[in-house]
Chain A
Amino acid sequence: MSDFIVHSEGALAQPVGRRRVLAWLLAPAAAALAAATGWPIARYLFPAGVAAAAAAVEIPAREVALGESKRFLLGGRPAIVVRTAQGLRAYWGACTHLGCLVSWRRGRSDFFCPCHGGRFDVDGHVVGGPAREPLAPLVIEEIGDTIRVRTA
């Protein structure tokens, strides 16, 4: 064994041998190996990021009468539109608490989430239940006899 010893005054008077160098090399090498194995697995498990494409959907106006609501898909995600005396509103359909879909209750004029009793008013603000964020709004416009909804 050809250890060599570094003598020095003060705190660094420790023997430094080849074995120690290798031991110090082990950790970074193991880390490199873990990264080399982990990165492909991480990429494998995370599907390609779907670009949040600005999606738009057109709905015939007659399908949303006064006081009525309609659920639809926008870019593959559920959304909801409602027509009230205050006008047309559209929101992403997921309750901001834990993601169940809200329904428009005509009699109470609110959006209701069945999972934990969350309630939102016509403008999307929280009026009851465990949610803390308002419903996420969508841009809505009515042109002639078509309602056009798109992401904000």
Chain B
Amino acid sequence: MKRAIELAAATLICLALLGARTASAKQAAIDTCVACHEQEEDEDVAKAVPEWRKSVHFAAEVTCDGCHGGNPRAKDEDDAHAESAGWVGTPGWKELPTFCGACHESIAHGFADGNLGDGFEGGGIPPTCVDCHMSTGHDTQHANAKEILSDPLPERLRGLPQLAQARRDVLALVQRETVVSKRVAEVSARALPPTGLARDLRALHDGWAPHFHRFEPAEFARADVEARAALDTVESRSAQLEQEAYARARLGEGGIATLTLFFAVLAGLRSRRDP
């Protein structure tokens, strides 16, 4: 009997771990795309993998096929790069906003409609997503004005007046957003039911980000005011919830203490009754 239980437990644990490992999509992509591309002779292609590992996309579990398409569980090159599996390949310079816009749709729209998108009138290569959000290719970091627009901007963009203005305008807002999101992260780490605050923050961010990417100061100013009001609401709700979490924890502990006391008394009485 005991052995049967031990055997069962061992079987369960092994199978569970096996199941967990094979079912992970991230693992599948690493097994396929990375396995080939890490060993590429062409350095420009090979460096994509280590860059990706340091990027915010890796942290968010966005794998190669998430942007480039293709089949991350394939066994050979042709299957992996099959068009039927949605393979898109490497985008050209002008195609970048559409490429990134597959997920970041509203921002890509805002950019295309704005001063630096389709309406760009300066000469030379027009600005595009990678200019501000990546330095070498795949190492996208979390969008933070201080890191994006700090030096060095690509040489050809350094003189653009819209970018300088944009930096000044957005820096303060992003800093405020970071403060509030830290607060929200603290609250979310507490033992509370889902608060929806992280989602509210995301929605808030997705509200003003497209406006910012139009690089039009007046329009951004409006979005900025709304965003700040919403951030204030989220912050005060976080503070409220933090207090709530503290109160609940103390109350619960008090309840458990009372129950323990009662249990001790009952146990004492019960033990007096043994023959």
A21-44 contacts to B, CB under 8 A, are 22-23, 25-26, 29-30, 32-33, 36, 40
The reply to whether A22 and B254 form a contact with Cβ atoms under 8 Å apart is no
When C-beta atoms are compared, the residue in chain A nearest to B269 turns out to be A22
Residues of A in contact, count (CB < 8 Å): 13
Query: With A and B bound together, what is the CA distance between A32 and B262 in angstroms?
Result: 9
The verdict on A132 contacting chain B, using a C-beta distance below 8 Å, is: no
| Of A23, A25, A26, A33, the contact of B258 (CB 8 Å cutoff) | A33
Q: By the criterion CB–CB under 8 Å, are B272 and A29 in contact?
A: no
Contacts of A32 in B (CB 8 A): 258, 261-262
Q: Which residues of A contact B266 (CB under 8 A)?
A: 26
Q: When each residue 91-132 of chain A gets 1 if its CB lies under 8 Å from chain B and 0 otherwise, what string results?
A: 000000000000000000000000000000000000000000
Give the chain B neighbours of A40 by CB distance below 8 A: 251
Given the contacts A19-B272, A22-B272, A29 and B254 also touching, CB distance less than 8 Å: no
Within the complex, which residue of B251, B255, B261 is in contact with A29, where a contact is CB–CB below 8 Å? Answer: B261
Q: What is the CB-to-nearest-CB distance from A27 to chain B, in angstroms, rounded to a whole number?
A: 10
Contact between A18 and B262, CB atoms less than 8 A apart: no
Cβ–Cβ < 8 Å partners of B268 in chain A: 18, 22, 25
Contact assessment for B269 and A26 in the assembled complex, using a CB-CB cutoff below 8 Å: yes
Alpha-carbon gap, A40 to B258, bound state (A):
14
The answer to the question of B191 belonging to the interface, with a C-beta cut-off of 8 Å to chain A, is: no
Min CB gap B26→A, angstroms: 44
In the complex, which residue of chain B has the Cβ closest to the Cβ of A20? B272
A22 touches B258 (CB 8 A): no
Answer yes or no: B259 CB below 8 A from chain A CBs.
yes
**Minimum distance in angstroms from B240 CB to a CB of chain A:** 15
Q: Within the assembled complex, what's the spacing in Å between the Cα atoms of A40 and B255? A: 10
Task: Output the residue of A1, A29, A30 with the most chain B CB within 10 A.
Answer: A29
Q: Which of A1, A26, A36 touches B265 (beta carbons < 8 Å)?
A: A26
Q: Which residues of A contact B255 (CB under 8 A)?
A: 36
Q: Could you say which residues of chain B place their CB within 8 Å of the CB of A36?
A: 254-255, 258-259
The B6-33 residues at the A interface (CB cut-off 8 A) are none
Complex interface: chain B residues within 8 A of A30 (CB): 262
| Neighbouring B residues of A33 by C-beta, 8 Å | 258-259, 262
Partner of A19, one of B251, B261, B269: B269
- Proximity string of chain B (178-197) to chain A, C-beta cutoff 8 Å, 1 when within and 0 when not: 00000000000000000000
Known: A36-B254, A36-B258. A29 touches B265 (CB 8 A): yes
Report Cα–Cα, A25/B269, bound state, in Å: 10
- Give the residue name and chain of the A residue nearest to B254 (CB): A36
Among residues of B, the one whose C-beta sits closest to the C-beta of A30 is B262
**Alpha-carbon distance A31/B261, docked complex (angstroms):** 12
- Which residues of A lie under 8 Å from residue B262 when comparing CB positions? 29-30, 32-33
Residues of B with Cβ closer than 8 Å to A? 251, 254-255, 258-259, 261-262, 265-266, 268-269, 272
14 additional A-B pairs beyond A19-B269, A22-B265, A36-B255, beta carbons within 8 Å, are A1-B272, A18-B268, A22-B269, A23-B269, A25-B265, A25-B268, A26-B266, A26-B269, A29-B261, A32-B258, A32-B262, A33-B258, A33-B259, A40-B251
30 contacts between A and B (CB under 8 A): A1-B272, A18-B268, A18-B272, A19-B269, A19-B272, A22-B265, A22-B268, A22-B269, A22-B272, A23-B269, A25-B265, A25-B268, A26-B265, A26-B266, A26-B269, A29-B261, A29-B262, A29-B265, A30-B262, A32-B258, A32-B261, A32-B262, A33-B258, A33-B259, A33-B262, A36-B254, A36-B255, A36-B258, A36-B259, A40-B251
The 8 closest A-B pairs by CB, nearest first: A19-B272, A36-B258, A22-B268, A29-B265, A33-B262, A29-B262, A22-B269, A25-B265
